[in-house]
Amino acid sequence: MRGHEFVNEVQTVAQVFFPLGRVRVWGWGESGAAECDEGYPATLSWEGGVVVVAAVADDAARAVVYINGAEVAARVVALDAVDVVRTELSARRVLMLAMFHALRAATGADIPWGALTGIRPSKMVRSWLAQGKGDAQILRDLEDVICLRSDKARLALDVAHAENRLTQKIFESSGAPLGIYIGVPFCPSRCAYCSFNMAAKPPTRAELTRYVTVLVREIKEMARHELHEMRHMGKRIASLYIGGGTPTVLPDDLLATLLDAVGEYFAPGADCEYTVEAGRPDTLTPENLRLMREFGVGRIAVNPQTLNDRTLQAIGRNHTAADFVRAFMLARDAGFATINADLIAALPGEGEDDLRRSVEALLPLRPENLTIHTLSIKRASRLRGQVEDCNDGTIFATSPVDMNVTQARLRDMGYAPYYLYRQKNTIGLAENIGYSLPGHECLYNIGMMSEIHTVLGIGAGAVTKYVEGGKINRKFNEKNPQIYMERRA
């Protein structure tokens, strides 16, 4: 290409407007690139009959949208015209802005998060706060320059302040904090929206036994090498998270084996935040809840996803709303003082009223954490094929849910948003928000999403993030559980 090499950026902005569509990117002059006399070296993206010329010259970025060969919109953004963007990201962000404005004019689409891409909307805001910018200026920049809707700008700012406060808390309590993630990639059934690398059928006892054996071996190796070295450097385990999948799909004896290994080799102290993502209510029993408490687990997630029985059946969950309530109360009776519950907005057949009803049904239980996700149509999920069969390639043809329908109610009940992230291919291009009652925020989530300290990953699909001096290096475990076990046997 000539002029720029922002292939990922061009593709990212194109997929904001065509999230389920096919986007191709060509360098100028490559096979497939359209002829154009714009005079700018360019990259082109295509979706059906749409072609976007996204180009950078010495003093400006330009984007032109063609539909079926006819120009329908164009936008030029000078490199020195937007100080707030130019200071941060220079030509890269300016090119994305030009392309965003041109595509918005061509499609008429309402994009609540504007030209702000990436999974962590609060990241840019935190950098501005660190530079000394005030709240009012940040809100103006987000709305006027990056084109966020005002409620999204306020949400990003609120979460950035919460993340700063919680980051300070993590470092004050742990000095040199360290997180640990242990993955158990098995569930009793596969949900329609799941793209997780696991078998469609429930795991056998033999598979689970073999997996725990290999997992414990990796725990030992991690303790003897990376963790030993990091403790020698003064680092302390601030948070330990056992996730999945559904870790509580393990039979009691295998769960005890895993928890015993964690206690022996990692020795999480009383000041370590220790969480198990139980997830599926149909896997919780008085026995495994007692086990977790005996081994020092202080936090648990019990996730209904919706309180609508018809939807639960449609998405492949083997439990009812009443089953969730019973499991939640079992966890409370077992002594868990912090319980998280997840909901998913825009599940098939559900709209804003359904989300409201699920929230209202949860509030009497008073979960300390409430996380509301937006449905993401993932490529490897069963739901993806169903959507493609009845959709035109955009998510706008489905049923987006405005997350604002629950925010005011949750704030009135004492919940505040404290972490925020986005995913590709979400319905309505919406976000995932973690709410908490004061003092119950999940510090592991902050450490992982904000990338403020190293997190060691153990198990199939786990990722280790080494954070040192502002740089991040990642080490990936094998995603497929079978391959993970074979290579580490």
Nearest to 240 by CA among 260, 267, 212, 280: 267
Structure tokens at 179: 């997180």
Nearest to 24 by CA among 40, 3, 47: 47
Nearest to 187 by CA among 303, 308, 341, 299: 303
Residue 373's DSSP bridge partners are 344
- Return d(Cα 147, Cα 125) in angstroms, integer: 14
Decide: 191 and 466 in contact? Cβ < 8 Å.
no
- Return d(Cα 238, Cα 277) in angstroms, integer: 17
Instruction: For residue range 89-135, list pLDDT tens digits in order.
Output: 567 888 889 999 999 999 998 899 999 888 899 999 999 999 999 99
Classify residue 415 as left (phi > 0), alpha (psi -120 to 50) or beta. Answer: beta
The H or E element containing residue 164 is helix 150-174
Q: Where are the domains of the chain?
A: 1-109, 175-488
For 305-393, where are the alpha helices, taking DSSP H only?
309-314, 321-333, 352-362, 382-390
Which residues are CB-neighbours of 348 under 8 A, at least 6 positions away?
Answer: 192, 311, 314, 315, 383, 386
286 CB neighbour count, 10 Å cutoff: 11
476 CB neighbour count, 10 Å cutoff: 10
- Return d(Cα 487, Cα 365) in angstroms, integer: 44
Residue count of the chain? 489
| Residue pLDDT tens, the chain, 489 long | 345 577 888 888 888 888 766 677 766 555 444 444 444 445 556 556 788 888 887 778 889 898 888 899 999 888 776 555 544 456 788 888 999 999 999 999 889 999 988 889 999 999 999 999 999 999 999 999 889 999 999 999 999 999 999 999 999 987 899 999 999 999 998 887 786 666 557 899 999 999 999 999 999 999 999 999 999 999 999 999 999 899 999 999 999 999 999 999 999 988 999 999 998 999 999 999 999 999 999 999 999 999 999 999 988 898 999 999 999 999 999 999 999 999 999 888 888 999 999 999 999 999 999 999 998 876 555 665 555 544 444 433 345 677 888 999 999 999 999 999 998 777 777 899 999 999 999 999 999 988 999 999 999 999 999 998 889 999 999 999 999 999 998
Pairing of strands 432-436, 416-421: antiparallel
pTM: 0.89
Average pLDDT, the chain: 87
Q: Which CATH class is domain 175-488?
A: alpha beta
Give me the pLDDT at residue 427, please. 75
Which residues are CB-neighbours of 442 under 8 A, at least 6 positions away?
Answer: 239, 273, 275, 299, 340, 369, 419, 434, 436
Q: What burial class does residue 460 get, using C-beta atoms within 10 Å of its C-beta: 0-12 exposed, 13-18 middle, 19+ buried?
A: buried
Decide: 328 and 301 in contact? Cβ < 8 Å.
no
Structure tokens at 52: 């976007």
- CA end-to-end span of the chain: 46
Q: What is the DSSP letter of 108?
A: -
